[in-house]
Structure 1
Amino acid sequence: MALEPKPYLQQVSLRDDLEFDFEAFPLSLPAVRELGTLEFHPDVTFFVGENGSGKSTVVEAIAVALGFGPEGGTKSVQFRTADTVSSLHAMLRLIKSFRKPSDSYFLRAESFYNVATYMDEVDYLKGYGGRSLHKVSHGESFMATISNKLRGNGLYIMDEPESALSPTRQLAALSAIHKLVQDESQFIIATHSPILLAYPRAKIYQFDSSGIYEIDYEDTEHYAITRDFLNHYSKRLGDLLEDH
């Protein structure tokens, strides 16, 4: 049986040669404490969960363990505007493919402004469409990155990329992700977007107080709550706003 080059990042787990303080952050988070072994889909793997569940903490740790700077960008972008990186990256064991991706990027929504500023400072705009990311909207800068900077045959880590995107732009991002997957790319994405989560055949990991486990798209709260609200929005608004 021939070896497959993807997934470029196959597994991540807590190292078994270290002693851990499970009462200290980030291992105090139930999902992180019960990390076990995460196996990644060759194409797209999603992390979902409530705010504070640990999904962004794990995404950051994976990215830093792979060599990215904590605020995002390519691996050559290594600045830090704040010392807020958890120690989790040093606790991880990564299992990689025999083949390295030829491209890579870490898109982190909360610090993307800082990456855009850095790109202006070093006068590197060619890879982003030739225009300062500060001279377009937040959503346009995200799409410029996804559409221009990501070249394919790559490993791409994303933390809440939908945060600046309208529903229409989320659909455009989904299409761009699919084109990159067809060009031998792998994605690991933390998201709240039921639109992005609909990507077919993706693996979805739910983060919650019981740990981390695989879940089907239609079983996610993101899908169920969105569908219920849109189908019964008048009643749901009445319930939510009653006595207010």
Structure 2
Amino acid sequence: MFVDRVFVPHGLAPDRAERARWPFTVPAVAQLLNEGLTFMRPVTFLVGDNGSGKSTLVEAIAESFKLDAYGGRLARVHGRPDPTRTPLGEVLRADTTRAGARMLAGPRRSKKGFFLRAETAFDMTENLGGVPGYWDEDTSAMSHGEGFLTMFRAMFDAPGFYVMDEPEAALSFTACLQLVGLMHQLGERSAQVVCATHSPILAATPGADVIEVGDHGFRRTAWEDLELVDHWRRYLGNPNAYLRHIVP
């Protein structure tokens, strides 16, 4: 692993007026300010509904390891010559392991990290195929799902720190299963993955640490106890139990 914990140092903590503004009003962000977040396993999932703060958390976690919140490689800027930091990313810091400290202090060629966010990943698949340091295939000629999987296989190919925000956005059921296999393989090979997701398929990755994010803040939970899993199980068993409230 490369990061043991992320936290906001006392000297960088927002004052009372700043805490009254977004994103510090989000329960998960407020809890992070007070407690920090410890990583216990090589693969960690943040699972929660829209607006729960999971994307805000993973963006800042990426920035704490010198990844651009826009998305892209470690020590590289994709698409923004003068990147700005997110409000949480400005104050969040990472407690790195020895391996993490060595990587950040080492030469660029030894830095292995990538932040994938759904909003900018489509642009990457359209423009980075064939660019040195990325992937050889012409992903602009592929479906979004095929392009995503090509990107994953090319960029998540060695021990490094990999952060993903809703990577399932373009993936089918079977493609999600392929990503599960890749993330599990990364964890077994000394990489570290932090992923925000809505997907019960991804969150079921064997050996992963699952953190549920919501109005309560964030808490570790078992996959089978996730609210997300419960809703999907109920819906697939009886769609009408949900749809009768939606469709007249």
* TM-score normalized by the length of structure 2: 0.85
Instruction: Name the CA shift for 1:72/1:197 in 2 (closer, same or farther; >3 Å).
Output: same
Mean Cα deviation higher: 166-175 or 18-27: 18-27
Contact 2:70 2:120 in 1 (8 A): yes
Aligned pairs for 1:43-192 within 5 A: 43-75=42-74, 76-80=76-80, 85-100=85-100, 103-119=112-128, 123-124=130-131, 127-128=134-135, 130-192=136-198
- C-alpha contact 2:40 2:209 (8 A) present in aligned 1: yes
Deviation at residue 97 of structure 1 after TM alignment: 0.4
The aligned counterpart of 1:27 is 24
Give ranges in structure 2 of 5+ residues lacking alignment: 104-109
- My pick for the range that moved more, 103-112 or 176-185, is 176-185
Q: Please, which runs of 5 or more residues in structure 1 have no aligned partner?
A: 1-6
Provide the rounded CA distance (Å) in 1 between the counterparts of 2:134 and 2:72: 11
Separation of aligned partners in 1, 2:144 and 2:81: 19
Structure 2 CA distance for partners of 1:29 and 1:81, relative to 1, 3 Å: farther
* Structure 1 residues 81 and 58, CA gap change in structure 2 (3 angstroms): farther
AA partner of residue 50 (structure 2): N
Identity percentage over the alignment?
33
Q: Secondary structure at the match of 2:89?
A: helix
Q: What is the Cα deviation at residue 85 of structure 1?
A: 4.7
Call closer, same or farther: CA 1:146–1:193 in 2, change over 3 Å. same
What is the one-letter code of the residue matched to 1:171?
Answer: L
**CA spacing shift, 1:148–1:226, aligned 2, 3 Å:** same
SS class of match (1:162): helix
Aligned to 1:218: 224
What does the per-residue CA deviation read over 1:130-172, in whole Å, with 9 as the maximum and x for residues that have no partner?
2222211111111001122221211110000001000110001
How many residues in Structure 1 have an aligned counterpart in Structure 2? 233
Aligned counterparts of 1:25 and 1:53: Cα–Cα separation in 2: 12
Change beyond 3 A, Cα 1:70–1:115? farther
The question of 1:12 aligning with 2:6 is answered yes
SS in 2 for 1:90: coil
For residue 48 of structure 1, report the CA deviation from its aligned partner: 1.2
For residues 84 and 114 of structure 1, the distance between their equivalents in structure 2, rounded to whole angstroms, comes to: 19
- Cα distance, 1:15 vs structure 2: 1.7
Residue 3 (structure 1) aligns with: none
Residues 1:232 and 2:229 aligned together: no
Could you tell me how far apart the structure 2 residues matched to 1:194 and 1:50 are? 12
Q: What root-mean-square deviation, in Å, do the aligned CA atoms of Structure 1 and Structure 2 show?
A: 2.2
* Aligned: 1:200 with 2:228: no
SS in 2 for 1:34: helix
Cα contact 2:159–2:189 (8 A) shared by 1: yes
Kindly indicate whether the alpha-carbon contact (under 8 Å) linking 1:64 and 1:70 is maintained by their aligned counterparts in 2: yes
Structure 1 position 104, deviation (Å): 1.3
Secondary structure of residue in 2 paired with 1:141: helix
Question: Using a 3 Å threshold, how does the CA distance of structure 1 residues 238 and 16 change in structure 2: closer, same or farther?
Answer: same
